[in-house]
Structure 1
C-alpha cells in the first residue's frame, strides 16, 4: 500500500531552496514483514542505485525506533531521520527497511525472544551474531546492497563474521550518531555492512569519508595471534598467500582492554536503559546484564579509563611501525543456535573486537573462507583517520583472492 506520512525532513520540493521543513513523504509499505529475513519493517523511501536497510536503533522519520524491545513499543514515531540515514537518501540510496537486533543492542548472538531471530542465510544453523543481526542478515541474503548497524563492543564486526560479509566500524565519531539510540555513548560507532569491498567504498564515499585513493601494494603488516590455533593458521595462510610480509604483534593490555570496555558498556547501558526495567518488559537475560551496570563503581570506571589510555597508546605505537594490524575477528568459529543456548559458549566471543571500541580505532571484518563449514573472518585495524586504508586494503585482498 502507499502511505503518506507527515515527517520533518531535509530536501527540496519543486525547485524551492533546500530547508528543514514538514513534508509529506511517500512510503511504499510491503507486508507481511518477515523477521527471519532480518527486517522489522519493510518499505521504500527514496530512489537510487543502492538499496540499504538500517538497524532499528536509528531513527527513520515516520517510524518508531524500538531497538528490538517491547519496553519501547509505545515510543512516538520519529519526526526526523538519523543523520546518516538522511545523508544516504540525499546521496541517491533507497531505504528498504529497518532491521532486527539483539534486544536493546545488548548481546552478541542476535537471538531475540520477543521479536524473533534473523536467519543466517549462508550458514542457517549458526547464530546471525549481535547485536546488529538483521543488518548483517539482509546483506548476506541480498535483500539490501548494504546496511547500517551500530558497534559498541563488536556489534557490526561480530555479525559480519557470523554471516560471512564485510563489516566496518569506523573510528569513533567519524560517522554522526545524531538520531541513534542510545543518545550518549563513549564507545558506540555507526558502521556499515556490505557483500564486497567495492560497495563498501561507494557507501563510505557517499557518507563523506574519503576512501577512494587506490592502493597499489601493501607493505609489511602486523599480525596478532589471539584466536584458536586453526583460525590463526587459516588467516596466516590467507595473508601469506596474498604475498604479504607479516610481523608478529604484541599488545600487552589487550585482555585488560576487553574487560575495561565491558565495564564502560555496562555502566553506560545502565544509565540509558535502566529506567526501562521497571515495566518488566525487557527479557531476563538482557535485564540481568543491564542491572549489573548499576554495580560498576567509580573506581572501576577510573581504572577502565586508565586502561583506555594505555591500550590506545599501544595500538598507536604499533600502527606507527606498520600501517595495518591483522587478527581474527572472532576467537573461535561462530556457534550454532543450539550451542548459543549455553551462555558460556558466547561469553568470550567479543574479546578480539571490543578492545578497538575502547581505543577508538577503525576496524574492518573481512570474510576469508570457511573451516568445518563455518565462516572465518579477518579483522584489519588502522590508525585513526585511516578508514580509507582499510577499505582499499580490503579491495586489494579481494582482488588477490579472486586470482
Structure 2
C-alpha cells in the first residue's frame, strides 16, 4: 500500500490523502490523528495527571463524537457517542487533557498500522518503516512528541508491537483489569485497554489511574527470571543478539535465568489456536454489521475478515481447552515472584514497502510471540531498550495475573538503571 507521507508530498488532485490531511489538526505532521472533527477536552484541575496531554485510539468513545474505528462505513453507520469511554473519563478526571483521537487499523484487526483509507502514520524512530498496529496513531503520536501518552487497545499485540516498533513503552494489562466500557469490542476474551508513554515513569503514573490507584506497586517483589527459549528462537539473529545483553543485566538484578519452553517449541500451533478463538469472537462481534452494511475494507482487512468467517466452532473449541492448559502452566511457572522474559517482536519494524507476503510471514512470527500473554490473560510490558539497524526493538516482561502495578514499578526501576548505564 502507498505510504501516506509519500503521497502527501504532492498537492492537490495528485495527492489521494490531501482531503484527509485537511481534516487533521494542523499540528499533526505525522498523520497520527483521524481526519475528522477532533475532541479537545480539558482535564480536571489538580488531578495527578494535570499538565499532561493524551490521545485516544479511535475505538474509544468520546461523548458527542462518532467513534470511527478506522473505517468510513463504520463512521457513517454509527451515531455520536453518548458518553466517554470509562478509560477516557478516568484520565480526564485525573487531570489529563484529551488532544484528539488517533488512527487505527480497520476495526482494530491488524498488526501493521497501514490503514487503507487513512494512510500510515509516520514512525519517527524508524523512518520508512511501519508503526505497527492496530494502535498505530497512538504509538506514532507518542513517539513523535505530539502527546505525552496515549490510549491503545491490545487484543493480539496492538500495544506491545507498536511500542517496540516505535521505540516507546507500552503495557498490555491483565485481562479485565481496566474497564472496556465504551470501547469497540474485537475479541472480548482477549481485548484489553493498553497505553503508551515515552518514559517508564509516566507509563506507571498512567497505570496508577487506569488500574484503580489501590496500590503503588513493589519493584522488589520479583526474585526469579524465566527466559522463554522457544520465544527467543522466533527472533531474528540480529534481534536476539541485541537483546542478549539486556537479559544478562536482568539476571544480575534478579537471579540466574531459568530457561523454559512456554509454547512447547511449537509456536505455529499456539498462534493458530489464538487466531481460531479470536476469529470466532471477531465474527460474533462484527459479523452481523458486516453482513448488513457491506463495508468497503482494504484488501488486507477484507482477507482477514473473510478468513475469520471461515473458522468453525470445531476449530475453536479445542483451542479454548488448550488455552486453559497454557494459562495454568504459566501460572505455575510464574508463581508469585517470577518474570518471564521474551522479545516483544521478532525484529524491528518492516519497511513500509514490504510486500503483502513479507508482512504476512512477519505477522505469523509476531502473533506466535504475542499470543502467549493473550491466551494466558497476563500483563506484559514492552521496554524499548535495544536497537537493530538503527531501529528500536523492545524486550518484554510477562508477570503473573493481577501484578500490573508491580510490573510497572519494576520497569521504572530497571529503565532508570539502564539510563544511568548509558550516561
Q: Same fold (TM over 0.5)?
A: yes
Q: Does the residue aligned with 2:219 lie in a helix, a strand or coil? A: coil
In the alignment, is the contact (CA less than 8 A) between 1:37 and 1:134 conserved in 2? yes
Q: CA deviation at 1:125?
A: 1.2
Match of 2:65 among 63, 68, 76: 63
Larger deviation, residues 53-62 vs 210-219: 210-219
Deviation per CA, 1:39-61: give whole Å up to 9, x if none: 11544202332211110001001
Distance 1:340 1:189, change over 3 A: farther
Q: CA deviation at 1:104?
A: 1.1
Distance 1:247 1:322, change over 3 A: farther
Residue 333 (str. 1) matches residue 353 (str. 2) = no
Q: CA deviation at 1:193?
A: 0.6
In the alignment, is the contact (CA less than 8 A) between 2:142 and 2:150 conserved in 1? yes
Q: Structure 2 regions of 5+ residues with no counterpart?
A: 1-22, 44-49
Q: Does the residue aligned with 1:300 lie in a helix, a strand or coil? A: helix
Match of 2:290 among 266, 276, 293: 276
Quote the Cα distance in structure 2 between the aligned partners of 1:387 and 1:181: 23
Residue 195 (str. 1) matches residue 176 (str. 2) = no
2:376 alignment counterpart: 359
What are the residue-to-residue correspondences of 1:242-391 with 2, within 5 Å? 242=250, 243-244=252-253, 245-253=256-264, 255=267, 256-274=269-287, 275-276=289-290, 278-320=293-335, 323-339=338-354, 341-342=356-357, 343-348=359-364, 349-391=366-408
In the alignment, is the contact (CA less than 8 A) between 2:186 and 2:281 conserved in 1? no
Deviation per CA, 1:88-115: give whole Å up to 9, x if none: 1111111111000111111111001101
In the alignment, is the contact (CA less than 8 A) between 1:59 and 1:179 conserved in 2? yes
In the alignment, is the contact (CA less than 8 A) between 1:70 and 1:282 conserved in 2? no
2:122 alignment counterpart: 119
2:19 alignment counterpart: none
Q: Does the residue aligned with 1:38 lie in a helix, a strand or coil? A: coil
Distance 1:187 1:216, change over 3 A: closer
In the alignment, is the contact (CA less than 8 A) between 1:273 and 1:290 conserved in 2? no
1:9 alignment counterpart: none
Deviation per CA, 1:134-182: give whole Å up to 9, x if none: 1111111111111111111001101111100111000110000010102
> Which structure has the highest strand share of the two?
1
Q: Alpha carbon RMSD of aligned pairs, Å? A: 2.1
Deviation per CA, 1:247-303: give whole Å up to 9, x if none: 212214462332211111111222223332552412222122112122211121111
In the alignment, is the contact (CA less than 8 A) between 1:339 and 1:345 conserved in 2? no
Match of 1:235 among 240, 243, 247: 243
Quote the Cα distance in structure 2 between the aligned partners of 1:345 and 1:211: 41
Q: CA deviation at 1:213?
A: 3.2
Q: CA deviation at 1:184?
A: 6.2
Distance 1:98 1:73, change over 3 A: same
Deviation per CA, 1:353-373: give whole Å up to 9, x if none: 122111101111110120111
1:398 alignment counterpart: 415
Distance 1:217 1:385, change over 3 A: closer
> Normalising by the residue count of structure 2, what TM-score does the alignment of the two structures yield?
0.84
Q: CA deviation at 1:31?
A: 4.0
2:20 alignment counterpart: none
Distance 1:232 1:209, change over 3 A: farther
In the alignment, is the contact (CA less than 8 A) between 1:35 and 1:118 conserved in 2? no
> Paired residues, what number?
375
> Which structure has the highest helix share of the two?
2
What are the residue-to-residue correspondences of 1:30-109 with 2, within 5 Å? 31-32=25-26, 34=28, 36-40=30-34, 42-47=38-43, 48-74=50-76, 75-109=78-112
1:20 alignment counterpart: none
Q: Does the residue aligned with 2:53 lie in a helix, a strand or coil? A: strand
> Normalising by the residue count of structure 1, what TM-score does the alignment of the two structures yield?
0.88
In the alignment, is the contact (CA less than 8 A) between 2:74 and 2:295 conserved in 1? no
Larger deviation, residues 211-220 vs 132-141: 211-220
Q: CA deviation at 1:320?
A: 1.5
Q: Does the residue aligned with 1:394 lie in a helix, a strand or coil? A: helix
